[in-house]
Amino acid sequence: MGTDLDKLKLKSFTKYAVIFSFAVIVTLLIWNLNQLLLFKDVSSAEDYDYIVYMDSAKMIIVKNGTTGRIDFTGWNFSQIIHYLLRGDGLKIFLKGGEYSASTDVILKNLKGVKIIGEGAVRTKLKLNGHSLIIRGEHWEDSQNNHIEGITLENGGIIIENSFMTTIENCIFADSDDGIILFNTNSWTECTLIENCYFIDVKRGIVFRTAIGNGTRSYASTEIRRVYFELRREGAIGIHVEPKADFNEGLIQNVRFWMGNTVEKNQTGMLIEGSMLNTLLQDLVFESFAVFPQNICGVVLGKDSDPPIIGQGVAFLGNLTSSISNPYYKWIYGSGGAFKIENMPVSLGFNNVYGKPQEIGQVPHLFLAISPLSLKVQVEGSLSTNETVCVRLRFKFIDDSLSEHLEIIFEETGTKWLSYDDWLSIWPSRTIISSIIVDAKTTAYASNAKVTVSIYGQYS
């Protein structure tokens, strides 16, 4: 009797164990299938630390990319991101959905953090007037951070005291400022803004006037394949504020659309600070205004340093002015014309050359030889048997000098250099940065005065 009861208990236990094991297996299969469906579009090439997504009830779920487990859930996007941003090198993936921020989202003193959405069309972040802020106490504390694949609505990104920040494949919509670069302590340099679209923003990209211990420098920033659709009155695509230096940078393959919905007070680029040695290449400023009022491609402010106008810069449609230059700033450009007239050259006595004069040097441009014309004048009076010699040399990009050309005056007058003169000192393979001119007389004293004028182009 006891043996039969034991057998019956064993049989019941075995049956229960089999059913339990089967249920566990089915549950695991359903879980794995659910995870596969949820994350089937996540790139397997990137190993994310956290994957953030929303369920059907709009609850935010955070999956640990290392363990595959759900670390936590919640409703407040700002709090969740703040919780995640606890160390350098984190990679966070935002699945498609519409997230909403209740406060600023701050990446403070972090390096190598990536927040990547599932594409700007699918992943939207409503900032509700707040900002996503990449901030360092010093540029050494905030480096190589990366935002990608997100639409940011009613708010923007602030990059403060940071080095080598990348913003790419993002859309900025319905905000006062899209991207702000700001220095409050040290500088913000080598920023890359690429493949972004700004629509219905008051200012697209802003280089702010520094405050506190911030320097002026936003050097080596690159803006590539970026598009601005200006819809508001007073809208500006790119604004370099007073005393901000966006120097040694690049703006390439960028387009500004203006005057479509509003026909007054829109500007592609407002330059009030410095863009010295920043190259504009393949830019299009296009106005759809029928009766434009203050629709300008570029506006140069009183204290501005203009950029270099490179190849492929076009102004299309009805603009009030292509480049508004009320303060007569020197506009640098590839193929741009210039003249330097009646520059005095020191005269050395007793057959010894005087102090050399460097003509035509602009740190970021080089002389084009073919259209170069140079005039030498000797005025005043020469004594009996006095001879004045003016020496010309090319200075090259490596600071080396060409052979010299001497122009002899035995009486006062004017001489223009001929093509044969230029060919005598013509370089073989190098870039000309300037012309060095000096002069001497055979006399111990002289009433002669030497001046040089040059007309040509920069390349």
Residues 365-408 have pLDDT tens digits of 777 766 789 999 999 999 999 999 999 999 988 888 999 999 99
Please indicate, yes or no, if residue 8 is contained in any of the structural domains. Answer: no
With H, G, I as helix, E, B as strand and everything else as coil, classify residue 230: coil
Q: Of 278, 300, 332, which residue is a domain's last?
A: 332
> How confident is the model at residue 232, as a pLDDT?
96
Please give the single-letter amino acid code of residue 200: D
What's the distance, CA 345 to chain centroid? 41
Residues 13-23 have pLDDT tens digits of 565 555 656 65
Please indicate, yes or no, if residue 206 is contained in any of the structural domains. Answer: no
User: To which residue do tokens 């504390």 refer?
Assistant: 141
Please indicate, yes or no, if residue 315 is contained in any of the structural domains. Answer: yes
Tell me how far apart the alpha carbons of residues 168 and 146 are, in angstroms, rounded to a whole number. 8
The predicted model scores a pTM of: 0.77
Q: Of 317, 332, 347, which residue is a domain's last?
A: 332
Please indicate, yes or no, if residue 232 is contained in any of the structural domains. Answer: yes
DSSP assignment of 33-67: HHHHHHTTTS-TTS--SEEEEE-TT--EEEEETTT
Residue bearing the bigger pLDDT, 358 or 4: 358
Please indicate, yes or no, if residue 24 is contained in any of the structural domains. Answer: no
Q: Are residues 167 and 245 in the same domain?
A: no
What's the distance, CA 357 to chain centroid? 36
Q: Of 303, 332, 361, which residue is a domain's last?
A: 332
With beta carbons less than 8 A apart as the criterion, state whether 371 and 432 touch.
Answer: no
- C-alpha distances out from residue 210 to 68, 186, 219, 274, Å: 44, 9, 13, 13
Q: Are residues 348 and 319 in the same domain?
A: no
> How confident is the model at residue 301, as a pLDDT?
97
Q: Are residues 81 and 162 in the same domain?
A: yes
For the residues 325-329, what does the mean pLDDT come to?
93
Q: Are residues 192 and 66 in the same domain?
A: yes
Q: State which residues form the domain around 247.
A: 219-332
> Domain holding 426: CATH number?
2.60.290
Half-sphere exposure of 282 (CA within 13 A, CB side): 9
Residues 274-316 have pLDDT tens digits of 999 999 999 999 999 999 999 999 999 999 999 999 888 999 9
Q: Are residues 292 and 380 in the same domain?
A: no
pLDDT interval class at 212 (50, 70, 90):
very high
> How confident is the model at residue 372, as a pLDDT?
84
Q: Are residues 289 and 356 in the same domain?
A: no
pLDDT interval class at 24 (50, 70, 90):
low
Please indicate, yes or no, if residue 73 is contained in any of the structural domains. Answer: yes
Q: Are residues 289 and 359 in the same domain?
A: no
With H, G, I as helix, E, B as strand and everything else as coil, classify residue 302: coil
Q: Are residues 67 and 167 in the same domain?
A: yes
Q: Are residues 265 and 328 in the same domain?
A: yes
Q: Are residues 325 and 247 in the same domain?
A: yes
Q: Are residues 321 and 341 in the same domain?
A: no
Q: Are residues 295 and 345 in the same domain?
A: no
φ, ψ for residue 94, nearest 5 deg: -100, 115
What six digits make up the tokens of 286?
């296009």
Please indicate, yes or no, if residue 7 is contained in any of the structural domains. Answer: no
Give how many domains the chain has, as a whole number: 3
